[in-house]
């Protein structure tokens, strides 16, 4: 991992900002072909791509309810207990996000209101492959349940031998997912967006996925709502001389092992911390099972940047707007009000990023690649929709008529004005 200072890191920062564009054009071209095929041919196309990309011997298309129940019943009790504890924390955190509608009344009889309710049907995408994200089932399904979503559909690719991942099924059963389908990639996103003979059409699709999943979500936005366009995972750590390089290295590697495009960056005010962290990274990397992935990630998109002050470090963090931000300063909570652009923030030496991935209760479906400047983490609000309503009496309409008619006529919309006039003639 190379060590920079603030004056010579511009080229590196440009590189990590551009990494989400790697392969996007080709992925969108492929995804567009798959989407059109699924739109026309439905389940037949989905099954074809499942056989091509995931397994040519998928055991199920829709996983039977009995199989899901069995997966839960026969699951490792330690895993189920761990998932239950995580679920309780996620519920406790997200329950506070639920919003009720409201009504405003006036003396003249006018009533205005907003109604908030859960979506009719939501789709959850859960990656499989070398890192099946069991935790993503909880992170997506629990807020959906709290929001009052009518039906939750989940798609997840089969394993190479054609069987579903039993841990994912157990988590789906624990969280009350209604239907599970063995399909992944752009074809699964298209199936949920359009609906097929077997896969119901959903109102919104959430959950992390590979570049083809993201490309499909981008192309289908408008046909269906989506949570966000998430790219490769990333972590940014702010550290002063009080930080522990062993902890820093462990946390950088926790994201670098995700993907070869993942970014792991340390900004520190201490040259000694910078040098010692490099040594710790080499030591810990040697024992990592996903060493090759993490090593490539660190070489291409990892760096240590030495800042002159904590203020400079925080300013750069706000500019980068990272997915995960750890603040390993001596008095970290002093900086709560200064961190404006980060999706999920971890304060102090004993709040490592994986707590947010699994246990703490905050959501781990997060905006990446600087989009935390305007996107928020997945939440209960992700699964709700709002509508406003208006009730006026005749006398109240007459009070509003002059202003309404004047503006409508200034806009050249005479029929708008007349809609009010005809009600106020008598």
| Residue 383 to residue 118: CA distance in whole angstroms | 6
Active site residue 78: no
Residues 331-369, buried b or exposed e (16+ Cβ, 10 A)?
A: ebeebeeeeebbbbbbbebebbbbbbbbebbbbbbbbbb
Angle at 275 between CA 273 and CA 281, to 5 degrees: 95
Q: Which residue has the tokens 């007349």?
A: 418
CB 191 within 8 A of CB 154: no
**C-alpha atoms less than 13 angstroms from C-alpha of 175 in its C-beta half-sphere:** 35
Is 416 tagged catalytic? no
Catalytic, out of 257, 323, 326, 353: 323
Beta-carbon contacts of 371 under 8 Å, excluding residues fewer than 6 positions away, are 228, 229, 321
What is the tally of helices (H) and strands (E) in the chain? 16, 14
Q: At 70, is the secondary structure helix, strand, or coil?
A: helix
**Nearest Cα residue to 368 out of 252, 212, 231, 253:** 231
Task: Select which of 94, 258, 324, 364 is catalytic.
Answer: 324
- Spacing of C-alpha 172 from chain mean position: 18
Give me the active site residues, please.
323-324
């Amino acid at each position: 991992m190379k060590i920079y200072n603030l004056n010579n890191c511009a080229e590196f920062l440009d590189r990590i900002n551009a990494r989400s564009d790697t392969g996007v054009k080709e992925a969108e071209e492929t995804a567009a072909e798959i989407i059109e095929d699924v739109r026309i041919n439905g389940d037949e196309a989905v099954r074809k791509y499942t056989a091509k990309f995931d397994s040519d011997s998928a055991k199920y298309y829709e996983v039977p309810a009995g199989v899901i129940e069995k997966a839960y019943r026969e699951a490792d009790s330690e895993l189920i207990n761990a998932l239950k504890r995580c679920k309780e924390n996620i519920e406790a955190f997200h329950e506070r996000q639920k919003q009720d509608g409201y009504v405003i009344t006036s003396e003249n009889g006018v009533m205005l209101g907003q109604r908030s309710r859960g979506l009719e049907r939501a789709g959850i995408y859960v990656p499989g492959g070398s890192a099946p994200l069991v935790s993503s089932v909880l992170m997506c399904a629990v807020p959906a349940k709290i929001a009052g979503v009518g039906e939750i559909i989940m798609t997840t690719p089969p394993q190479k031998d054609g069987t579903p991942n039993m841990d994912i099924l157990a988590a789906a059963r624990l969280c009350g997912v209604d239907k599970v389908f063995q399909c992944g990639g752009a074809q699964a996103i298209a199936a949920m967006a359009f609906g097929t003979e077997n896969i119901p059409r959903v109102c919104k699709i959430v959950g992390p996925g590979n570049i083809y999943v993201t490309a499909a979500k981008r192309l289908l936005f408008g046909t269906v709502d989506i949570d966000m366009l998430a790219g490769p995972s990333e972590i940014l750590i702010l550290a002063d001389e009080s930080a522990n390089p062993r902890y820093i290295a462990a946390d950088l590697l926790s994201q670098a092992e995700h993907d070869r495009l993942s970014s792991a960056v340390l900004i520190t005010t201490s040259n000694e911390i910078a040098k010692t962290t490099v040594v710790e990274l080499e030591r810990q990397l040697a024992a990592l099972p996903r060493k090759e992935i993490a090593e490539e990630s660190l070489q291409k998109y990892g760096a240590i940047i030495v800042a002159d002050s904590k203020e400079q470090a925080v300013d750069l963090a706000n500019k980068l707007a990272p997915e995960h931000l750890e603040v390993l300063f001596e008095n970290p909570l002093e900086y709560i009000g200064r961190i404006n652009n980060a999706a999920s923030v971890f304060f102090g030496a004993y709040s490592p990023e994986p707590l947010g991935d699994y246990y703490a209760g905050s959501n781990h479906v997060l905006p990446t690649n600087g989009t935390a400047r305007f996107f928020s983490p997945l939440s209960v609000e992700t699964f709700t929709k709002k509508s406003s309503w208006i009730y006026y009496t005749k006398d109240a309409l007459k009070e509003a008529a002059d202003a309404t008619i004047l503006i409508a006529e200034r806009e050249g919309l005479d029929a708008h004005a007349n809609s009010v006039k005809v009600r106020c003639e008598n």
